[in-house]
Structure 1
Amino acid sequence: MSDDSQGLVDKAQAWWNTRIIDIHPGEIGIRGYPIQELIGRISFPDMIWLMTRGELPSKGQSKLLEAALVASVDHGPHAPSIAIARMAVTCGVDLNNAVASGVNVLGDIHGGPGQQCMELYEEVRAASGNDLAASTDRVLDSYIARNGKIIPGFGHRFHPVDPRVAPLFALVESASRDGTVSGNYARIGREVEAALRRRTGKAIPMNIDGITAVIFSELGFPPPMGRGLFILSRSVGILSHAWEQTQLNQRIKGPMPKEIPYTYSGPERRSLDPDR
């Protein structure tokens, strides 16, 4: 092989560089582990951790990650990501298209607050000194000035108290006691909740995004991964609803029954100028 040809081959091999997987005929290695040694021996949350972090988690870390993933799977057919997937199915698309349609709307508002809450916690952590309450108040002042009064991870349009928070918080506290996590972000989350009560005079409880932000931060995931992990979790709900919808044989199901009209707010009926 000429030097030029060898250079071209070397360049082609270097085009994709990954530390995640190594594949050869008859061999699959995940982060150095032969796949046959992982199958049947590690859980799916373990595999998520290995893929995204490079090493296997401890049992305590895996338990916390799994709990957060389980809690975020679904929130009913009124959730936009779920509703969109179900409507997509009635338009005749395949299951993969329906799931992709649902995932594609998990943006900054529906799907992103967990990541944003992790970023807020990180601001508080970076600013906190001896007085966590004062630091939290200062960070909230700055956050609200930049982003408005809605604080991601707190309050819920449907639940006065989100039923998923207490059991997840109990798991975090247990993990903190046994040394699996530090507990620092749990304290920050509680302090943000307390600061919101001080500011507003009413309870604005932590929601699922707030508590999973605590868990993902405690486990050492960077904020953008918070959204990615939520998407992994919610994809299970999207898939389940899309599959259920395929069994109903309904066609072109819109966001409301046809008997319920939408509101028209345009010009009143008019005629086109005959001279036009």
Structure 2
Amino acid sequence: MSERAKLSPPDWWATSIIEMKPGMIRYRGYAIEDLIGRVGFAEMVYLLTRGELPPKPAARLLEAALVAAVDHGPQAPSIAVARMAMTCGVGINNAMASAINTLGDVHGGAGEQCVALFGAIAARLPEGVRDAAAITTAVTAEIDALKARGIRHVPGYGHRFHPLDPRAPRLLALVDEAAAAGAVSGLYAAIGRTIEDVVAARRGGKRVPMNIDGATGVIFAELGFPPPLCRGLFVLSRSVGCLAHAWEESQSDYRNKGPIPRDQIWTYTGPGPRNVPE
């Protein structure tokens, strides 16, 4: 018999996240009635995922990251899918789930990739050394490593819609404020900016600005979130936009609304008309 099979029913789903019994709910030891009205949603996200309530500056940074990524319009696959699903007669939860399931490595996964990249660069720094020259050396080495693995695009930089993503500078400014106050190290903001500089130097001075994934990646890295958890944080944020768009679409009179207007037909690239063989 395996060790798992020997577990008692209470130990089968043992968890450090929630304690509950009739008349009592505690998250990480805190009574829910004490948390309600005293902590915000971002603080609850931090508490449940990290085990402790965050300091106020950390909570402010996390909330800023969550606010920044809530929506990017129907040109974003997740939002478009939420709206299309709603016109098919499904429930709002189905529409949200369908939308969230599109958030993968290409759409929605760059934040996780950024944090992993920032961490790899930080790991290249000699212990206790964080000067600009050392950071530039570490960034250069890691970008070379990406190139050697066949990775052409540095995650978190450039945007197919925005020449300069308006969300990134504001988020970085908040990180700078927190670093100046001693709330975060500022190391990952420095790494993020140095990546932009190194890439620009390799492109003859043409800059590829940091985008929302890079900027939120800086925040998540500064706050110490593990890379896989960062994708979940993006999902939490974008869920708000998916909910809003699904609800708005439910108020329209469209039924079975596809990705292109019905008076337009896709381009066919297959064989011309032909007869079925006898």
TM-score computed with the length of structure 2 as normaliser: 0.94
**Aligned positions of 1:129-168 closer than 5 A:** 129=126, 131-168=134-171
- Whichever residue aligns with residue 265 of structure 2, its letter is P
5, 10, 13: which one aligns with 2:10: 13
The alpha carbon displacement at 1:10 in A equals 5.9
Judge conservation of contact 1:124–1:136 (CA < 8 Å) in 2. yes
The alpha carbon displacement at 1:144 in A equals 2.0
- SS of alignment partner, residue 149 of structure 2: helix
- Whichever residue aligns with residue 105 of structure 1, its letter is T
* Residue of structure 1 equivalent to 2:177: 174
**Aligned positions of 1:70-89 closer than 5 A:** 70-89=67-86
Unaligned runs of 5+ in 1: 1-7
221, 224, 239: which one aligns with 1:217: 221
* Residue of structure 1 equivalent to 2:94: 97
What is the alpha-carbon distance in structure 2 between the residues aligned to residue 109 and residue 117 of structure 1? Answer: 12
- SS of alignment partner, residue 14 of structure 1: helix
- 1:184 paired with 2:187, answer yes
What is the alpha-carbon distance in structure 2 between the residues aligned to residue 226 and residue 10 of structure 1? Answer: 32
Aligned residues: 267
- SS of alignment partner, residue 26 of structure 2: strand
Judge conservation of contact 1:88–1:101 (CA < 8 Å) in 2. yes
* Residue of structure 2 equivalent to 1:123: 120
The alpha carbon displacement at 1:56 in A equals 0.5
What is the alpha-carbon distance in structure 2 between the residues aligned to residue 148 and residue 20 of structure 1? Answer: 38
Give identity over the alignment, percent: 54
The alpha carbon displacement at 1:55 in A equals 0.7
The alpha carbon displacement at 1:11 in A equals 1.5
Could you list the runs of 4 or more consecutive aligned residues of structure 1 that deviate by over 4 angstroms after TM superposition? none
**Aligned positions of 1:8-47 closer than 5 A:** 11-47=8-44
- 1:226 paired with 2:230, answer yes
Deviations 1:96-149 (A, max 9, x none): 000000000100000100100111111110112452212211110111221421
- Whichever residue aligns with residue 180 of structure 1, its letter is A
* RMSD, aligned α-carbons: 1.2
What is the alpha-carbon distance in structure 2 between the residues aligned to residue 213 and residue 134 of structure 1? Answer: 21
CA radius of gyration, larger in: 1
* Residue of structure 2 equivalent to 1:4: none
